[in-house]
Structure 1
């Protein structure tokens, strides 16, 4: 008996003749793809070539800003400052010129400032240039000066301006004078640069690790390479699409970063599921190519489609957060998932049919390519069936213990510590803080009616959280407004700043609006805190509805949805210990901020839930398939583990490897992403999907699959059994 001898394979006892009614919708799609192979190939080649031509521009074209709460007071202040005060907005570039050897005037600092001014004046994105002012932007000892380059473009273009200008500005440094541009635009420029380098490093490590895991999972080099090739095709197409989409609406560079990671993980999951099912049908049961493709699409393909829909639904809830960065990140991932889904359901069946038995080229000697049912996972299922309470309780206790720390989780917007210590924005930040006070890098901007100028200045001066206030600056466009800059007493990341801002917004005249880069972060955090319960609620409801439609069984749909919360809570509980308390900071190479980044709960929850439901659909779709065939709860539970456990195990190993490589990245946010998502997948796949959920199937028995007649009549008919 050989791997390439399908006729020699024994038919399992439960393998029945093909359904005389023919294949389902996805099975017919598989047949259509085979009948129109040239057309499908041509469309994909054109899509990859055309969109791939735009893909190399993704890092240059996508925006670097957008981390703001649309409609907030701070965003209104920034726009007013840009339009009415020469660009003296939070997005302005601050050029910090410093000398350790005495006053700048004695060390050639004046010439450096003049050169910097000339350089800035040549850029059309720069507005009014404000020279250093004694007592405001020129230190008492004369050793530090800040040249303010106003913003005459939107925040995304100002980040691009920072990208273009920081190198030439830093080159003005000499032996006696150091030049370090800083400010919010430089912070995002430096962070995006460090993040891109970290992402590329992570990708470099993740691809070979992923290939090694896939070789072990598939037992053949050709079969292992298929998921990577399909995923790469989806990534190229999505990257080019994001560039084109950016011409219509600004798309954050983070959209591509997340899309790369998410599409790689999900694309491999989906391809893994289809390839395993095809090999079982073709080489295990000896079915013809066309029949094997139809069966694969009607079973594994249907599960993949439902899984993809769950991912899209979960991420669509993030669109409820009124922030351009969040919406474009969610949109970018959704676009990548759509391309990966399209490739999996159209291109992959065609490739499988064309390669056919050659898919096992380079097979390992001990591998049985046609074996779909795993004896080891079947034995694991039998063990769970015999002792459900012991295993279920142990799994539940571990998850609850890990989730317990989440009760003390604190969140805030990222501080300057997310940047490498040698980044220009961080060096300039530290110099400004040393020269002008702890709160100087987080200077507040207050725009008010000119008639309220005195009252606004008096309230600012009297507030205990304000160290100094600059005299009111009249508008440059003739509007009846003034701008007052106020230096807080605390660092921008200090929680006390939020108290100061809240107090000022209550005490200042009605016309006064409080903004500034630090306040934009506070307003975004408030928006995230307000949006998080809504996003979580919407994700849970939509996830339940989709499971209900897919499984036609309310009880298991509820249990599957709630089980996903356990791994999410456990992942955030561990995240608190690591990133808030600093456990393992030395090992992972980061400096704890004392909190988790505020965007993590809402965004990571949607991502974790999407992944968790991905495995839920795979497992429960297989369980439903077995229950539809036999009507036996035991066969449903044990058969689901036997037929999908190995796929879930391998897919989870790939995801964990991909995510944990991001934990090795330089900046802190990718580390948070890698650790939180990696832990979530690890816990969800191995404790929830392979232990707790099967135990729930065991304890609920046939009730898990019961559905009232009225509900059955309302829901569309969805079957997974391919008889």
Structure 2
């Protein structure tokens, strides 16, 4: 009985090869329509309300509904000789007061050591004289600061704040991502040239990946009205789309060329590639989609958006790989290997034989126990540091100091030290209970300060116009990333607020920036084991169903878990403990940014399944031809080594580019993924996987034992393999 999953790529390839122009024009129509959708339907981006989570989210909602939200503000730091600084500050106050959209300008304030002067500007809410766009809103203020600075060249005026800082960060992120995308395209093309040695063959994977990304970005626009698009989703689509799009085309094209080299016609070669590599593409695509679906379990708007974008781009890349790629191969025929680059063509021919990998595999196959123990020890050693990983939300200290607004805000914090991190205690009650609520919050302020974990701000309790919502700001004398902040917040929520004597029926919630970070970390810690279990279980089910082997599925799952452990361990060593700070150009914050472990988990598991499925499929292919498992492993891994190396090289190079960017989140992601995929494609797939399968032997395919063909020679004549290799001892006439 034909496996439906295997028949899908075969039927798609046959139809596409028989109707190449229809398939190609259909693909182009899909891309054009998708791009048109993006132009016609505006993308619905996430709002602040989308990010509300837990108790802090409820507190923010109550504050917003009561009209008690703090307006955006800007600050200008003035340094220089005191008299000149005072004169510049006076001119600045006058200039800022005249700017549309400014609600108030505070009196200039000297720092305690009189080394700097600060002017604070409070902006009006949207619709009250200011533009709703941050960049347009802050531009007049920056112009005013620049004019005053030009009139007072003897002092320094530097501006930062809610809007200017956000605009500067967005600009830097955009510059970083644009730089990464510009560099990654030629790097990928060069790697494809090395892999194929011919321009057309090298260009096809890049072209298919790029069109898959374009189609996904277009389709994502209308989908964003169902699941709002996070600002990072486009970068995620480009990242994942280029990686899987190139890999899938690489697998398919390599197998088609291999079959043509054996003398088969183009149509036959395409069909065999569909039956083998096409099937692997469907399986690995399903594994990536299943892995990315685990992000939905987090229940967070950012992860929901990333899940939708990544699932969509993988699905479109799979569709293109099993439809338009066979059509292009059938239409081009042997022209796919033209024009050849002489040196690269000869180099590719040599590498394609898998000579290097066979030499590495020989000791692994000969001594599988030793290889498994040594490689396993390396993986375990790299993963152990993950047990001490600390996570926290990104803050001012994780931003690059090369952004002027970031450095200005750091200097403001140093010159004008505040009491520390601030929490908001929000109470919602009946209007006639207002006095009781205010009295309880004032009592809470005193009792919290008496614990030593809090400091009274001295600010009065704010109450909404309708008298139903009251807010107390309370400070903690610690830096935001200090572990004592979390302990103080838990004490406030669990003990102090419930004991404050609030009126019966009053609703309360503790919010603020530190509380939001705590809620996110606790949600992630609560759900991360569930997500890991979900992703690994789905991986196990997919592998067991595909190869009808429980041992292979278990080995695959354990290896994936090891790769994830390595990624987490490397993130901890590099970014929490500060390894290679000077080399990578960053300053350790002492923690890993909270959203990255989960993101790295699903991306790594998904992408590593690409070449894992490809390798195991080739091994199974040889087993089904009658080779013993030891020899099937040796030949299967050697045959696919060139493809896996090329696929991993694309992923590693793209992610390594992100490790050179200035934003710490991008750097963390790039280091973790590039290093883990490099180790996964070498140590895991060339040592651990073959060693484990060789040790399992025929038991690796339980409960379905391979059926050995009788009456045929199971070893093909191939000069690339050494017939005197001990592994060939079990290959005889049967």
- Whole-Å separation in 2 of the counterparts to 1:67 and 1:291: 56
Distance 1:626 1:286, change over 3 A: same
Q: What per-residue deviation string (whole Å, max 9, x for no partner) do you get for residues 633-672 of structure 1? A: 1232122113212111111111111111110001111000
- Whole-Å separation in 2 of the counterparts to 1:439 and 1:609: 43
Q: Does the CA-based 8 Å contact 2:13-2:271 persist in structure 1?
A: yes
**Counterparts of residues 564-713 of structure 1 (less than 5 Å):** 564-630=560-626, 632-707=628-703
Which residue of structure 2 aligns with residue 15 of structure 1? none
Q: Does the CA-based 8 Å contact 2:161-2:409 persist in structure 1?
A: yes
- In the TM superposition, what is the alpha-carbon distance from 1:626 to its structure 2 partner? 1.3
Question: Is 2:349 aligned against 1:366?
Answer: no
Q: What per-residue deviation string (whole Å, max 9, x for no partner) do you get for residues 138-169 of structure 1? A: 9998932433336559xxxx997333333332
- Whole-Å separation in 2 of the counterparts to 1:52 and 1:109: 50
Question: Is 2:431 aligned against 1:446?
Answer: no
Which residue of structure 2 aligns with residue 85 of structure 1? 67
Describe the SS at the equivalent of 2:290: helix
Match of 1:407 among 387, 412, 435: 387
Distance 1:103 1:376, change over 3 A: same
Q: Does the CA-based 8 Å contact 1:51-1:241 persist in structure 2?
A: yes
Which residue of structure 2 aligns with residue 35 of structure 1? 18
Bigger mean CA offset, 602-611 vs 505-514: 505-514
Q: Does the CA-based 8 Å contact 2:295-2:303 persist in structure 1?
A: yes
Which residue of structure 2 aligns with residue 148 of structure 1? 122
Match of 2:401 among 418, 421, 442: 421
- Whole-Å separation in 2 of the counterparts to 1:159 and 1:596: 36
- Whole-Å separation in 2 of the counterparts to 1:659 and 1:503: 41
- Whole-Å separation in 2 of the counterparts to 1:159 and 1:675: 39
- In the TM superposition, what is the alpha-carbon distance from 1:248 to its structure 2 partner? 3.6
Q: Does the CA-based 8 Å contact 2:196-2:348 persist in structure 1?
A: no
- Whole-Å separation in 1 of the counterparts to 2:307 and 2:86: 53
Match of 1:162 among 134, 139, 142: 134
Match of 1:272 among 250, 257, 280: 250
- In the TM superposition, what is the alpha-carbon distance from 1:318 to its structure 2 partner? 1.0
Which residue of structure 2 aligns with residue 8 of structure 1? none
- In the TM superposition, what is the alpha-carbon distance from 1:232 to its structure 2 partner? 0.6
- In the TM superposition, what is the alpha-carbon distance from 1:422 to its structure 2 partner? 4.9
Question: Is 2:483 aligned against 1:495?
Answer: yes
Which residue of structure 2 aligns with residue 548 of structure 1? 544
- Whole-Å separation in 2 of the counterparts to 1:657 and 1:67: 37
Q: Does the CA-based 8 Å contact 2:63-2:469 persist in structure 1?
A: no
Q: Does the CA-based 8 Å contact 1:97-1:145 persist in structure 2?
A: yes
- In the TM superposition, what is the alpha-carbon distance from 1:187 to its structure 2 partner? 5.1
Which residue of structure 1 aligns with residue 232 of structure 2? 254
**Counterparts of residues 394-543 of structure 1 (less than 5 Å):** 394-423=374-403, 426-427=406-407, 429-434=409-414, 436-439=416-419, 442-449=421-428, 450=434, 451-462=436-447, 463=449, 464-469=452-457, 470-476=459-465, 478-505=466-493, 506-508=495-497, 509=500, 511-543=507-539
Which residue of structure 2 aligns with residue 291 of structure 1? 268
Which residue of structure 1 aligns with residue 327 of structure 2? 350
- In the TM superposition, what is the alpha-carbon distance from 1:381 to its structure 2 partner? 3.8
Question: Is 2:161 aligned against 1:182?
Answer: yes
**Counterparts of residues 23-172 of structure 1 (less than 5 Å):** 24-53=7-36, 61=43, 63=45, 70-88=52-70, 92-101=71-80, 102=82, 106-107=86-87, 109=89, 112-113=92-93, 116=96, 119=99, 121=101, 129=103, 132=106, 143-149=117-123, 161-172=133-144
Considering only CA atoms, is the larger Rg found in Structure 1 or Structure 2?
2
Distance 1:500 1:207, change over 3 A: same
Distance 1:187 1:627, change over 3 A: farther
Q: Does the CA-based 8 Å contact 1:474-1:483 persist in structure 2?
A: yes
- In the TM superposition, what is the alpha-carbon distance from 1:571 to its structure 2 partner? 2.3
Compute the TM-score of the two structures, normalised by the length of structure 2. 0.84
- Whole-Å separation in 1 of the counterparts to 2:84 and 2:531: 52
Distance 1:69 1:524, change over 3 A: farther
Question: Is 2:304 aligned against 1:327?
Answer: yes
Q: Does the CA-based 8 Å contact 1:279-1:370 persist in structure 2?
A: no
Q: CA RMSD for the aligned pairs?
A: 3.2
Q: Does the CA-based 8 Å contact 2:49-2:61 persist in structure 1?
A: no
Which residue of structure 2 aligns with residue 341 of structure 1? 318
- In the TM superposition, what is the alpha-carbon distance from 1:619 to its structure 2 partner? 1.1
Which residue of structure 2 aligns with residue 223 of structure 1? 201
Q: What per-residue deviation string (whole Å, max 9, x for no partner) do you get for residues 290-330 of structure 1? A: 22221111110110110011011011001111211111112
Q: What per-residue deviation string (whole Å, max 9, x for no partner) do you get for residues 472-515 of structure 1? A: 12213x25112222333222222222122212213124633221
Distance 1:528 1:189, change over 3 A: farther
- Whole-Å separation in 2 of the counterparts to 1:329 and 1:189: 22
Count of equivalent residues: 671
Q: What per-residue deviation string (whole Å, max 9, x for no partner) do you get for residues 101-143 of structure 1? A: 5599943546645654665639xxxxxx4654899x9999893
Q: Does the CA-based 8 Å contact 1:169-1:181 persist in structure 2?
A: no
Which residue of structure 1 aligns with residue 732 of structure 2? none
- In the TM superposition, what is the alpha-carbon distance from 1:188 to its structure 2 partner? 4.8
- Whole-Å separation in 2 of the counterparts to 1:245 and 1:610: 23
- Whole-Å separation in 1 of the counterparts to 2:525 and 2:131: 26
- Whole-Å separation in 2 of the counterparts to 1:197 and 1:620: 40
Distance 1:233 1:370, change over 3 A: farther
Describe the SS at the equivalent of 1:146: strand
Q: What per-residue deviation string (whole Å, max 9, x for no partner) do you get for residues 74-106 of structure 1? A: 112222222313532xxx422113333559994
Q: What per-residue deviation string (whole Å, max 9, x for no partner) do you get for residues 688-722 of structure 1? A: 1111101111000110011169xx9xxxxxxxxxx
Describe the SS at the equivalent of 2:346: coil
- In the TM superposition, what is the alpha-carbon distance from 1:209 to its structure 2 partner? 2.2
Distance 1:319 1:118, change over 3 A: farther
- Whole-Å separation in 2 of the counterparts to 1:600 and 1:393: 30
- Whole-Å separation in 1 of the counterparts to 2:373 and 2:412: 55
Q: What per-residue deviation string (whole Å, max 9, x for no partner) do you get for residues 158-212 of structure 1? A: 99733333333222212257463424x6655443332221122122222222222
Describe the SS at the equivalent of 1:107: helix
Unaligned runs of 5+ in 1: 1-18, 123-128, 713-723
- Whole-Å separation in 2 of the counterparts to 1:525 and 1:672: 17
- Whole-Å separation in 2 of the counterparts to 1:504 and 1:377: 59
Q: Does the CA-based 8 Å contact 2:396-2:410 persist in structure 1?
A: no
Describe the SS at the equivalent of 2:75: strand
Distance 1:56 1:583, change over 3 A: farther
Q: Does the CA-based 8 Å contact 2:45-2:230 persist in structure 1?
A: yes
Unaligned runs of 5+ in 2: 150-154, 429-433, 708-734
Compute the TM-score of the two structures, normalised by the length of structure 1. 0.85
